[in-house]
């Protein structure tokens, strides 16, 4: 019983200590916390700095989508007024947000960084059909501002629409520390690279090593070393016997 | 002092005053519990209705009044309707013997208030006040029991069965914790118990074990966490009030908080010197009754705060732990302590210890 009293006193101290801390919650509709840089909000379709659409209608996003929520129909660019640089453009682009699981595979698949995930998440539907966003809602304005549906949103979200792409799309390889590896966005120009990915930007060997891994071409330098699992395991503090085979 | 219109008016006024004070305390307690819980969980808590969310309880009350009171088909109609009333009425009736202050004299002379009217700051100045409180809290058991039985549904039934065993067991522990107080004070009158503790001779120190056990039993008696097995929502949906909604649910909710206020007030009365305080000494100043009430309510609020603090901190006991705590710890230790107190009081009175302990 004496032990129980001690435990109760300990618990009472825990709650008392926590009562002196600042609340971790905020008054949401009035106060909006900044989103993490890689937040998976709803998608936007980006434009180049000159206002051209980045989407080329290749349908790789629709192909990779595990939820099958993306529908793309490409069309040939009209020669006199091209919509995108290149042969084709996204004529129809629809995402069903009731099916989307916000995994971001479409962003990784996109060869032109046309589709990225924004920080916008405050959208609701009164009809199932309203959940299917077409190009009218997905495509950013010529000045790079995403369209927002609904009356309540974080204005900062309109500026942060390319965050996820910067971190993980092939152009934004992690080893490109300090080197933006992606094309300019309308209204935003070339965004600054995300810091802290691990590679030392001053060391070209490290930067290139990361890139070599990515493309897997031996011709661009020495072939990457075979991974030594034993050494890795030792580094991680495991005993030699537990090395994976 | 004969009974006339003034006596009736004073009596009615006392009842209304106590009712208003207690309802205000209940309203604030419901709000305070949620705010205290929120602060201890590093949240903000209800702060929208009125300044600091003070009107949250009113808003909740209006919501519950507007909601439909659904009566399930399987219920035993009479028992089902009776249960919420049996929860609320004893809760308020138990309040009758709570002394909020020393009492004062209107228009009379001298210590016996001759020619005037003496106003007790309690609804009924019974000479068996403690017994009244114990019997009223015993009737409160029926609320959970009948609600569980009359609902005609398995979860309320389990809650009701738990209620009957838990509350009756802890009733014994609660009573045995009060008896040392009665023995030490030499009276069953709550006003007399307070007066016996004047000049800071609070019973809390000499009767620390009964005070602690009274508090534990009070938690169980009012079905507060960590003894809220009767309505354990993680096990029994809503426990005994699962099938109640709207106004009927509100009555159960109200009764719980009235019980918390009552039992906290009685803890103050029994162990913390009631309305006595550092200023002024009772009766020496014209405003003594007012100050008495302020001291009393301040002490009560502190005890209610500890109720909330424990609720946020402690996880619910398992059922066998609950019963073991009562029958194997609280009741035996209380009995031993009661005997010690009785021997001590008798020794103080007679000065003859050997004969008391049977030595000759």
Contact assignment for A11 to B42 by CB distance below 8 Å: no
Chain B residue nearest residue A11, CA to CA: B313
Predicted confidence (pLDDT) at residue A179 exceeds the cutoff of 50? yes
Mutate to test the interface with A, among B40, B307, B331 (most CBs of A within 10 A): B40
The lowest-confidence range among A190-194, B206-210, B269-273, B322-326 is A190-194
Q: Which of A84, A126, A98 is nearest to A42 (CA)?
A: A98
Q: What is the mean pLDDT of chain A?
A: 75
Q: Which of A21, A15, A4 is nearest to B306 (CA)?
A: A15
Tell me: cis bond preceding B325? Omega within 30 of 0 counts. Answer: no
Residue A16 touches partner B, C-beta closer than 8 Å: yes
> CA of A14, closest CA in chain B: separation in Å?
8
Highest mean pLDDT (candidates A1-5, A161-165, B129-133)? B129-133
Note whether A22 contacts B: Cβ–Cβ < 8 A: yes
d(CA A61, CA A115): 8
How far apart are the CA of B75 and the nearest CA of chain A, in angstroms?
39
* pLDDT tens column, B314-327: 888 888 888 888 88
Q: What is the mean predicted confidence (pLDDT) over B303-308?
A: 92
Interface contact B313-A15, CB threshold 8 A? yes
Banded model confidence at residue A194, pLDDT cuts 50, 70, 90: low
Residue B214: band (very low, low, confident or very high) from pLDDT cuts 50, 70, 90: very high
Residue A72 distance to chain B (closest CA, Å) = 45
The pLDDT of A19-39, averaged and rounded, is 82
- Predicted confidence band at A66 (pLDDT cuts at 50, 70, 90)? very high
pLDDT in the model for residue A242: 42
How many residue pairs from chains A and B have C-beta atoms closer than 8 A?
Answer: 34
Query: What's the pLDDT at B148?
Result: 87
Q: Which residues of A touch B36 (CB under 8 A)?
A: 19
Say how far apart CA A242 and CA A231 lie, in whole Å. 12
Provide φ and ψ at B109, rounded to 5°.
Answer: -120, 145
**Radius of gyration over every alpha carbon of chain A, rounded to an integer in angstroms:** 24
Q: Which residue has the tokens 């009125």?
A: B50
Q: How far apart are CA B230 and CA B91, in angstroms?
A: 17
Distance CA B44, CA B51 (A): 14
Q: Which of B40, B101, B11 is nearest to B310 (CA)?
A: B40
Q: What is the pLDDT of residue B186?
A: 85
pLDDT of residue A101: 93
From A194-198, A220-224, B8-12, the region with the lowest mean pLDDT: A220-224
Mean pLDDT of chain B: 84
DSSP A223: P
* Cα nearest neighbour of A23 on chain B: B42
Task: Assess whether pLDDT exceeds 80 at residue B202.
Answer: yes
Q: What is the pLDDT of residue B273?
A: 83
Q: Which residues of A touch B225 (CB under 8 A)?
A: none
Q: Per mean pLDDT, which range of A146-160, A190-204, B203-217 is the poorest?
A: A190-204
The answer, for A10 touching chain B at a CB cutoff of 8 Å, is: no
Quick check: A148 and A120 in contact, CB under 8 A? yes
Residue A92 has pLDDT above 90, yes or no: yes
Task: Look at residue B329 in the predicted model and tell me its pLDDT.
Answer: 87
Which of A8, A19, A25 faces B40 most closely, judged by CB atoms?
A19
pLDDT at A214: 45
> Which pLDDT score is estimated for B358?
61
Residue A62's pLDDT band (cuts 50, 70, 90): very high
ipTM over 0.85 threshold: no
Q: What is the mean pLDDT of residues B79-96?
A: 89
Greater confidence (A65 vs B113) lies with A65
Torsion sign, CA atoms B67, B22, B302, A26:
positive
pLDDT of residue B185 exceeding 60, the answer is yes
Cβ-Cβ contacts under 8 Å, B43 against chain A: 23-25
Local confidence band at A237 (pLDDT 50, 70, 90 cut-offs): low
Instruction: Tell me the per-residue pLDDT of B20-76, one tens digit each, with 9 for 90 and over.
Output: 988 999 999 999 999 999 999 888 888 888 888 889 989 988 998 998 888 888 888
Cα gap A100→A98, rounded to integer Å:
6
**Which position has the higher pLDDT, A102 or B112?**
A102
In chain A, residues with a C-beta closer than 8 Å to the C-beta of B329 are 1
Q: Given CB atoms, is B74 within the 8 Å cutoff of chain A?
A: no
Burial of B97 (0-12, 13-18, 19+ CB in 10 A): buried
Average pLDDT of the residues in B187-214: 84
- How far apart are the C-alpha atoms of A210 and A215, rounded to whole Å? 9
Q: Which of B34, B39, B307 to mutate to test the interface with A (most CBs of A within 10 A)?
A: B39
**From the candidates A19, A27, A28, which should be mutated to test the interface with B, based on the most B CB atoms within 10 A?**
A19
Summarize the confidence of residues A84-107 as an average pLDDT. Answer: 90
Report residue B46 as tokens: 């209800």
Residue B168 has pLDDT above 90, yes or no: no
For chain B positions 37-66, those within 8 Å of chain A (CB to CB) are 38-44
pLDDT for res B326: 87
Report which of B313, B310, B301 is spatially closest to residue B267, judged by C-alpha positions.
Answer: B301
Mean pLDDT of A145-164: 71
Tell me: pLDDT of B19 over 60.
Answer: yes
Q: Where are the domains of chain B?
A: 77-101+125-356
Query: How far is Cα B283 from Cα B293, in angstroms, rounded to an integer?
Result: 13
pLDDT of A64 higher than 90: yes
Q: Which residue among A16, A18, A23 places its CB closest to the CB of B44?
A: A23
What pLDDT, on the 0 to 100 scale, is given for residue A244? 43
What's residue A4's pLDDT?
A: 74
At A224 the pLDDT is: 42
Determine the Cα–Cα distance for residues B346 and B186; give it in Å rounded to an integer.
Answer: 11
Give the per-residue pLDDT at A212: 46
- pLDDT band of A204, cuts 50, 70, 90: low
Q: Is A19 on the interface with B (CB under 8 A)?
A: yes
Beta carbons of B299 and B178 less than 8 angstroms apart: no
Q: Are B137 and B94 in contact (CB under 8 A)?
A: yes
Neighbours of B32 (CB within 10 A): 18
Option in B42, B44, B329 nearest A18 (CB): B42
- Band (pLDDT 50/70/90 cuts) for residue A215 is very low
| Average pLDDT over every residue of A58-84 | 91
The secondary structure of A50-114, three-state, reads CCCECCCCCCHHHHHCCCCCEEEEEEECCCCCCCCCCCEEEEEEEEECCCCCCCCHHHHHCCCCC
| Shortest distance, CA B37 to any CA of chain A (angstroms) | 9
Pairwise CA distance, residues B221 & B141, whole Å: 9
């Amino acid at each position: 019983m004496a032990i129980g009293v001690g435990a109760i006193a300990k618990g009472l101290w825990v709650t008392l200590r926590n009562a002196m801390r600042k609340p971790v919650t905020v008054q949401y509709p009035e106060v909006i916390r900044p989103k993490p840089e890689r937040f998976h909000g709803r998608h936007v379709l980006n434009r180049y700095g000159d206002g051209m659409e980045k989407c080329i209608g290749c349908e790789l996003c629709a192909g990779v989508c595990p939820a099958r929520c993306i529908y793309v129909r490409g069309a040939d660019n009209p020669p006199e007024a091209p919509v995108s640089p290149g042969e084709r453009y996204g004529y129809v682009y629809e995402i069903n947000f009731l099916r989307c699981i916000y995994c971001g595979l479409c962003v990784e698949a996109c060869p032109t960084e046309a589709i990225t995930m924004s920080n916008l998440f405050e959208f609701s539907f009164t009809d199932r059909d309203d959940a299917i966003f077409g190009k009218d809602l997905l495509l950013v304005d010529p000045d790079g501002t995403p369209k927002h549906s609904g009356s309540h949103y974080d204005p900062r979200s309109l500026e942060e629409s390319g965050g996820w792409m910067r971190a993980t799309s092939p152009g934004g390889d992690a080893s490109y520390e300090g080197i933006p590896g992606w094309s300019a966005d309308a209204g935003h120009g070339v965004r600054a690279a995300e810091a802290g990915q691990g590679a030392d930007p001053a060391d070209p060997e490290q930067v290139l090593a990361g890139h070599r891994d990515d493309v897997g071409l031996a011709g661009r330098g020495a072939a990457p070393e075979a991974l030594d699992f034993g050494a890795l395991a030792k580094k991680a503090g495991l005993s030699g016997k537990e090395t994976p085979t | 002092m004969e009974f006339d219109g003034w006596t009736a008016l004073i009596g009615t006024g006392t009842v209304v005053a106590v009712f208003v004070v207690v309802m205000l305390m209940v309203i604030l307690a419901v709000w305070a519990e949620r705010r205290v819980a929120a602060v201890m969980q590093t949240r903000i808590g209800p702060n929208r209705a009125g300044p600091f969310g003070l009107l949250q309880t009113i808003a909740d009350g209006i919501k519950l009044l507007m909601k439909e009171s659904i009566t399930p088909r399987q219920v035993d109609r009479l028992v089902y309707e009776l249960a919420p009333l049996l929860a609320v009425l004893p809760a308020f009736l138990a309040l009758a013997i709570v002394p909020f202050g020393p009492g004062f004299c209107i228009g009379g002379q001298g210590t016996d208030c001759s020619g005037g009217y003496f106003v007790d700051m309690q609804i009924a100045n019974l000479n068996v006040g403690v017994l009244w409180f114990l019997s009223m809290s015993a009737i409160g058991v029926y609320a959970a029991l009948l609600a569980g039985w009359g609902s005609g549904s398995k979860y309320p039934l389990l809650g009701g069965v738990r209620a009957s065993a838990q509350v009756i067991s802890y009733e014994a522990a609660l009573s045995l914790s009060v008896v040392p107080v009665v023995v030490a004070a030499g009276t069953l009158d709550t006003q007399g118990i307070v007066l016996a503790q004047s000049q800071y001779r609070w019973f809390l120190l000499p009767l620390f074990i009964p005070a602690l056990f009274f508090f534990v039993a009070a938690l169980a008696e009012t079905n507060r966490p960590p003894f809220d097995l009767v309505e354990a929502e993680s096990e029994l949906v809503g426990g005994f009030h699962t099938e109640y909604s709207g106004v009927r649910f509100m009555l159960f909710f109200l009764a719980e908080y009235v019980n918390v206020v009552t039992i906290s007030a009685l803890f103050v009365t029994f162990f913390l010197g009631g309305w006595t305080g550092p200023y002024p000494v009772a009766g020496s100043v014209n405003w003594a009754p007012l100050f008495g009430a302020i001291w009393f309510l301040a002490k009560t609020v502190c005890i209610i705060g500890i109720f909330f603090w424990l609720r946020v901190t402690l996880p619910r006991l398992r059922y066998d732990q609950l019963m073991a705590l009562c029958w194997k710890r609280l009741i035996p230790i209380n009995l031993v302590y009661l005997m010690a107190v009785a021997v001590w009081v008798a020794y103080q009175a007679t000065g003859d210890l050997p004969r008391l302990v049977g030595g000759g």
